Structure 1
Amino acid sequence: MEEMNTENNWREEQNFTLVVRKPCFGLPTACPSCLPLYLYLKFAQLPFHLDFCSIYPDSDQIPYIESGDYVAYNNENGGVIESLKKDGIADLDAEFKSVPEWISTKAMVSSWLGDAIMYELWVGSDGSSAKKIYYPDLPWPIGKVLFWKQSQTVMLQLGITKDNAEQKEEEIYNRAKIAYEALSNRLGEEDFLFENRPSSVDAIFLAHVLLILQALPETSVLRNALLEHGNLVKYAEKHKMEQIEAGSSSSSVPQFQSGPSSSAPRKGPSNWSSKPKSKSKREKTKEEKTFRKRAKYFVVAQLVSVLLFLTFMNRSDDEVELDDDDGYGYDD
């Protein structure tokens, strides 16, 4: 017991900072990659400060968590949650790793429901929700091009083409409905999906439900399918109140900042140090300087993309007009 208390005191002494995309739709962050991590840290009762990064909106390093020389990125080692578990910082899944049903449920939530939310954000809608989540501070033309580029990427990832678009859409929605039914039966009237205590599956699924209910329009197919399961809606509302809305102590509630992150991603040691380190003022690392330099060129690069995109579209329109003129040349 004394050893456990010592570990808890050590965790509280660390100055953890979670860097995510900006808040919107009444959520601390509406990014499908960031919100599950936020909820995982809350379930793990790991104190942290919340910070926002908007200077590089399409970075796959976001979200990331840092403390002193330690940093864990979204695009490394299977993601931040896996890094936290491996490094012994926060592991909610230790007792579930050998449970077949837990493993299959996590796979279903991560794949079927993960595909469904990405489809609705980037392919099955007008993109208004995605733009508010990822590009709220960018000029409209740049946001338009970035949305188009990402929608093409998502279609490629999901294997969607012009020939199979309707079939793929039906398949994605059918899988999501099956998943909702299975998860509704699994949850019942309990507070969590397994053994009435939180795991990473709860963090991932809860984030999905909150995004569906708050970030997608009333016409959303996923939203209407989810609303058929009252216990899932109740589950989301309960945990939203407890983990996002309730509480005011600094040990459990992150401190929100209105500006972008004051610290850029940086490399740290591969292993977590067992002793706390005092954080002192230091010079910017090479990785920080590189990150900020890339950020300066980001807007310029996207402006070039806009110009190329508009040029391509104008040329396409001209070719269509020429073809139309040729087609009517012999009707007189």
Structure 2
Amino acid sequence: MASATTAAAEWEAAARRTLVARKPGFGLPTACPTCLPVLLYLRMSQVPFDIHVDSRFPDADHIPYVEFGECVAFNNENGGVIEYLREEKIVDLTSKHPSVSYSDVLPTKAMISTWLADALQYELWVANDGAHWSIARDIYFSDLPWPIGKVLYWKKIREVKQLLDITKLNAAEKEEEIYRKATAAYDALSTKLGDQSFLFDDSPTDVDALLLGHVLFVLNALPATSMLRSYLQNYDNLVKLAEDIKVQLVGVDSSAAGSASSDPPSSSTPRKTASSGQSYKPKPKAKKERTEEEKKFRRRTKYFLAAQLISVLVFLSIMGGVDSSELDDDYELEYED
């Protein structure tokens, strides 16, 4: 990993800065609840950047990541993209608040990163015996064949249950605990926000990016039947803040349907003209004639994928249509990463 000085110099000298995220959806520029706070953080920082959608690794934990010069900041390293940019003194919104120390911000950040993050994970993968499969599919697995996507979904359910320490014996108690903590977090954050524009005075910090990413995802992606969404909607100032930010930074009116607009509306915050943060598709490359070796490699790749698909179908036939709710901690099934 480059030193702070080297990384900061790379950032300043980089001709392009690219946020690699998952694709848009639910009226948001990225449907991924992990990618959205990073995008908001960069927008709040008025940083010019491109967005590139990566669908090759549907459940990879290194996404989102930011590329600049010879450096890459991955989500699964150094505390995540936002933390890396802050620690390397590349982009640090909190430092713009002379009266606010990071020790003041840390407890609020921890509450969002634990209690609210756990509640969102629970809603997305576990709640109502996986009733939100269609949402998870749209975010992570829609570009995969259905059987492979379904198996990866079941695998993720097991991982989240293990992460949250949920078993058949304690499922009801854990659900109550998760929602109790989420409600307490919403209450504390709503009180902290009050009538301010952001959590700390009238300009954003990295905590605001985390909170707004969470709130926007819950309000726009989760269905009306979601318990987490119903709890959140009890706090008018949190909802209003998210709606205002969606118009100013995300570029989509909360009443509009569909994907994010390619022309973000103007706001009171000046934007750098070099910003192209609305580009979601890589530029098409000119076609070139494939060599015989490349053709052979592609044929082998197709055979490999076909073999993988057949193995998944065999696996599903053996499973005999097991419901995802049965994939609990006591189900002895091993998956390969």
- Given residue 243 of structure 1, which amino acid in structure 2 is its aligned partner? L
Counterpart position of 2:55: 54
Q: Mind listing any 5+ residue stretches in structure 1 that lack a counterpart?
A: 1-6, 263-294, 318-332
Task: Give a deviation string over 1:80-119, Cα, whole Å, max 9, x none.
Answer: 1122122221011235874544211111011000001111
Cα 1:156–1:260 shift into 2, 3 Å: farther
Counterpart position of 1:324: none
Deviation at residue 165 of structure 1 after TM alignment? 0.4
Task: Map 1:189-208 onto structure 2 (within 5 A).
Answer: 189-208=195-214
Cα 1:203–1:62 shift into 2, 3 Å: same
Deviation at residue 13 of structure 1 after TM alignment? 6.2
CA distance in 2, matches of 1:218, 1:39: 24
Tell whether the 8 Å contact from 2:147 to 2:313 is kept in structure 1 after alignment.
no
CA distance in 1, matches of 2:80, 2:221: 23
- Given residue 241 of structure 1, which amino acid in structure 2 is its aligned partner? V
Tell whether the 8 Å contact from 1:21 to 1:63 is kept in structure 2 after alignment.
yes
Counterpart position of 2:19: 18
Cα 1:299–1:154 shift into 2, 3 Å: farther
Matched, 1:152 2:152: no
- Given residue 48 of structure 2, which amino acid in structure 1 is its aligned partner? P
Superposition TM-score, scaled by structure 2 size: 0.75
Counterpart position of 1:188: 194
Task: Map 1:1-332 onto structure 2 (within 5 A).
Answer: 11=12, 14-94=15-95, 95=97, 98-124=101-127, 125-126=130-131, 127-245=133-251, 246-247=264-265, 250-258=273-281, 303=309, 306-314=312-320
Cα 1:300–1:53 shift into 2, 3 Å: farther
CA distance in 2, matches of 1:199, 1:302: 45
CA distance in 1, matches of 2:236, 2:14: 40
Q: Mind listing any 5+ residue stretches in structure 2 that lack a counterpart?
A: 1-7, 252-263, 286-300, 324-337
Counterpart position of 2:261: none
CA distance in 1, matches of 2:284, 2:140: 15
Superposition TM-score, scaled by structure 1 size: 0.76
Give secondary structure in 1 for the equivalent of 2:52: strand
Tell whether the 8 Å contact from 2:50 to 2:275 is kept in structure 1 after alignment.
no
Deviation at residue 255 of structure 1 after TM alignment? 3.5
Pick the structure with greater CA Rg. 1
CA distance in 2, matches of 1:33, 1:261: 27
Q: CA RMSD in A?
A: 3.0
- Given residue 68 of structure 2, which amino acid in structure 1 is its aligned partner? S
Give secondary structure in 2 for the equivalent of 1:65: strand
Deviation at residue 307 of structure 1 after TM alignment? 3.0
Cα 1:12–1:184 shift into 2, 3 Å: farther
Q: What percentage of residue pairs aligned between the two structures are identical?
A: 51
Deviation at residue 79 of structure 1 after TM alignment? 1.1
Deviation at residue 253 of structure 1 after TM alignment? 4.6
